[in-house]
Amino acid sequence: MSPVSSSRDVREIKDTVASARVIDSTNRKRAGAVLDAEEIAGVVTDFVHDRIPDYQMAAWLATIACTGLSTAELVALTRAYTVGGGHLDLSEVDGAVVDKHSTGGVGDTTTLIVVPVVAACGVPVAKMTGRALGFTGGTLDKLESIKGLRTSVPVGEIVPMLKSVGMVITGQSADLTPGDGVTYALRDVTGTVESIPLIAASIISKKVAVRADGLVLDVKTGAGALIQDRDRAVRLTETMLDLARAFGLSARAVLSDMSQPLGPAVGNALEIRQALAVLRGERIPGLWELCAAVCRLMLRSVDPLLTDEQATARIERVLDDGSAYEMFVRWAVAQGADAAVLEAERLPTAAHRLVVRAPESGWVTRVEPRAVGNAGLLLGAGRLTYDAPLDHGAGVLLRHRVGDRVGKGDVLAELFYDRGDTDTARTLVASAFQVGDRAVTAPPVVRQIFGAEGV
């Protein structure tokens, strides 16, 4: 027998054993068994090393999504996601380093705003982020609208960049969380995106690998959130906080409203433009209220003596004097972007435009976020399949929010596209808006704070 044949035979035996192991684990979990840490680590490691196929891992993840995990199982899964990876050593960075995470929503550009704002305030920010899940946009997808910008920073460059620039936004690295890296995209196409234990393990595993001094979680609730029900969103928040603390992380959280799109822009380049507008000083209603709250929590998470008023003053100063915008540009250039591209906003732009107009006069009483997010998907701003290409110029720009007064024929939204199912997308956006004859007030964007007094 040749060495090649022998090697292939050994591989086939390992694959057979791994397949039998994940099938047994799936069946036992479905029957109500509690999986031990070694078993969980074995399944994740087998998938990382390509010893089990996607469909078997999808079945295992779906079973977890249906049956849930005990606290011990959840800790084990979180740790398993990091097995084989490393951790960042942030000890060389002067001062405390802070991190944040949003569970995602429609028009949610908080990362692109709060990271440079907090960094401009003098607190380094290390942010490992991901791509789109379902109808919500992904920060990496948005950043790829900027020509030349590297969305993946090698682990060895992260600390030097933190020291020289003050912030890093990068895709998750196989060097840090290999298990989460290979299961993240699989969840998007297998109906397991909204599972509380899978969300918690995915998010906190990345935070364990980064191990910043402070962590702020932004958990969305409402029609446009991954977790629509408020009680479940609170449970997710508390689960992640408990899990973070189990790994020795200092964490705080904000529960935020996603009953309408957070910001008016929904789409990759459109959201980059939106973020740059805020960093130049524009306080976009809804979006800025949440960003300001998250920024305050991030600053106070690493400086407990800082008052709410002092944190607010710092944030307002770096917006008004241009420091926050300059921080974004300096960071983008450090990761490969051309400053001239940003300053001139030479970003992808769709060639075609459709408008949606108000059918009658009145007040906007609803803007259904999932309909808007799904319209963006149909126009090419998001992924309907695992490896679908994105149209970074496509998306939806909303001209009104809940509570606005509109006249018959006023433009409610604009659709930007080069391809896609434009008829269905336009119908979705039109159906998202409800106009009534009585004025209404939108719910507050910040619904609840966990782990700190006030915002």
So which residues are the catalytic ones?
Answer: 101, 180, 187, 202, 206
Rounded CA separation 218/46 (Å): 32
Q: Would you give the distance in Å from CA 113 to the centre of its chain?
A: 13
* List of residues 6+ apart from 280 with CB closer than 8 A: 322, 325
Q: Report helix angle 178-188 to 37-48, nearest 10.
A: 80
- With H, G, I as helix, E, B as strand and everything else as coil, classify residue 173: coil
* List of residues 6+ apart from 453 with CB closer than 8 A: none
Bridging pattern class, strands 214-221 and 251-257: parallel
Length of the chain: 455
Give the position of tokens 């928040």: 237
Nearest of 368, 363, 345 to residue 428 by alpha carbon: 368
Is the CB of residue 429 less than 8 Å from the CB of residue 371? yes
Rounded CA separation 115/104 (Å): 15
Rounded CA separation 315/332 (Å): 20
